[in-house]
Amino acid sequence: MNKPKAAFVCVHNSCRSQIAEALGKHLASDTFESYSAGTETKPQINPDAVRLMKALYGIDMEQTQFSKLLTDIPPVDIVVTMGCNVACPTLPCRLREDWGIEDPTGQSDEVFIAVIRKIEQRILELKETVLAWQDL
C-alpha cells in the first residue's frame, strides 16, 4: 500500500504549516508523506521557526523546505488546516482536520516552543490515526 500523503495548510505557508511538514517528515515518514502549502507564499520561512526547529530537533527547514502554493503539491489524502482565522484553503481529501493552532509569529520563544510542541503532539496523533487505517 502506498503511504498516504498529508498536506499541512495555512494561508502563507511560512510558519505553522512548515513546522508541521518538518515534524511530519521527522516523526511519521514511515507512515505518511508530509507536504505544506498555502494560498500565498512568503519569501522565506519564519526565522524564529527555523531557529527553534534547529535547536529542538536538529532540523534545518531552510535546507529542505520552501514556501509553496497549493498547486505546487501532489494530490493528498489528508488535509490539516492549521487554524487560519480566515477562510482556510480547501483541497479534496479523505480526511480533513483543523488543528486551530494560533500563529506564534512575533511572539516569545516560549510561545513558539509551546506551538511547536502542540504540533508535535498532533503529528503523533495523526500518525496513530493513519496506522489505524492500515489495520482496517
Residues with catalytic roles = 10, 84, 88
Cell numbers for 43, please give them.
Answer: 519569501
DSSP 69: B
By C-alpha distance, which of 3, 135, 132 is closest to 74? 3
Looking at the DSSP bridge assignments, the partners of residue 7 are 35, 79
Contact 75, 5 (CB under 8 A): yes
d(CA 73, CA 70): 6
Alpha carbons 70 and 54: distance in angstroms, whole number: 26
CA angle 28, 115, 117 (to 5 degrees): 45
